[in-house]
Homo-oligomer: A and B are copies of this chain.
């Protein structure tokens, strides 16, 4: 059984694990990123973490095939560089080369959302299909596009940003500079924003009550739980959320026509309540009514997707 190291490089923590060729994590650990430090120091800590995980597992470097890193931001795969990552504060950072100063193994680099999509494709919700899209509904909307079994990130490493497909020209202002991006309607942040809005105008709503009137405590879960309980204001927010999410998914079907679309991220913890509502709405709005289209599923790997997918870059 071949073994691979996967590194999930985040703004807060760096996770690393040993993953077998079927996508199972054998052992993992994490350290704080300390992203404000010089880039070289962060990579030094990453190297130490990797060595530590290998030792904890009772292995040596020679047991490992390669290291894969999932990083936020736009990536130059060929050069092994993070071109630009806002929440690391990095520009043109030669991550692979720097890590190889500490560990003599092949190092692969890919965007974190693409890596999570790859993990779902190899051992999660999209296992066994060639074309899939994993969308992550969290603070933003991330996406990993897998085409013919490989992460697709376009010609300049700026693609697969499905959170920034424009679904409402002239709509809600997005951090990217445009208006009406999917992210502004389908992220947890959007759900919270709309939950706050209706809780304010409907003081009797369960949304506000369940946080004791402290609207800053409203989370995506609060809004969804209130909708599950049948609260009218929460259902209005939830239905509108589902409508936009479904329109985003219809757009993904019409553009990419994958075999599976997996939904992950914090909002996906709503489970079948979310999934059933989305599937129903997509089905009502699909273009070719009598041709099969993507099966919509919940992601399966949660936070482990980052380590698994990064490790599997070495298996491609």
When the two chains form their complex, are residues B290 and A84 in contact, meaning their CB atoms are under 8 A apart? yes
Q: A147-B147, A169-B168, A288-B84 are in contact. Are A158 and B293 (CB under 8 A)?
A: yes
CA separation between A185 and B291, bound complex, in Å? 26
Taking a contact as CB atoms under 8 Å apart, the answer to whether B169 and A254 are in contact is no
Q: Are A256 and B166 in contact (CB under 8 A)?
A: no
Inter-chain contacts of A251 with B (CB < 8 A): 164-166, 251
* CB-defined contacts of A254 to chain B, threshold 8 Å: 158-159, 161-162, 164-165
A59-70 contact mask (Cβ, 8 Å, vs B): 1 or 0: 000000000000
Q: Determine if A294 and B167 form an interchain contact, defined as CB atoms under 8 angstroms apart.
A: no
| Total copies of this chain within the assembly | 2
Q: How far is the CB of A192 from chain B (nearest CB, A)?
A: 20
Q: Report whether B168 and A165 are in contact in the complex, using a CB–CB cutoff of 8 Å.
A: no
A154 interface neighbour in B161, B168, B250, B256, Cβ under 8 Å: B256
What residues on B are CB-neighbors of A289 within 8 Å?
A: 177
Given contacts A147-B147, A168-B168, contact A159 B256 (CB under 8 A): yes
Contact of A74 among B244, B247, B250, B291 (CB under 8 A): B291
Q: Please determine whether B291 and A156 come into contact, CB atoms closer than 8 angstroms.
A: yes
Which of B130, B158, B166 is in CB contact (< 8 Å) with A288?
B158
Find the B residue at minimum CB distance from A292. Answer: B156
Q: A178-B287, A285-B178 are in contact. Are A257 and B168 (CB under 8 A)?
A: no
On chain A, the number of residues with a Cβ less than 8 Å from chain B's Cβ atoms is: 52
Mostly, the A contact residues are: loop
Q: Which residues of B contact A247 (CB under 8 A)?
A: 166, 169, 178, 180
Q: A131-B154, A167-B168 are in contact. List 10 more A-B contacts (CB 8 A).
A: A74-B288, A84-B291, A145-B255, A147-B152, A154-B256, A156-B293, A158-B253, A159-B254, A159-B257, A164-B251
Query: Given known contacts A74-B291, A169-B243, A291-B74, is B285 in contact with A177 (CB within 8 Å)?
Result: yes
Can you list 11 A-B contacts with CB-CB less than 8 angstroms, sorted by A residue number?
Answer: A74-B288, A84-B288, A84-B291, A154-B257, A156-B291, A165-B165, A166-B248, A167-B168, A169-B243, A169-B244, A255-B256
Interface residues of A in 277-295 (CB under 8 A from B): 285, 287-294
Name the CB-closest residue of B to A154. Answer: B257
B177 and A287 contacting across the interface, CB-CB below 8 Å: yes
- Expressed in whole angstroms, the minimum distance between the Cβ of A174 and any Cβ of chain B is 9
Does A54 sit at the interface, judged by CB under 8 A? no
Please tell me if the beta carbons of B84 and A165 are within 8 angstroms of each other in the complex: no
B290 x A257 contact (CB < 8 A)? no
A166 touches B253 (CB 8 A): no
Q: What's the nearest-Cβ distance from chain B to residue A288, in Å?
A: 5
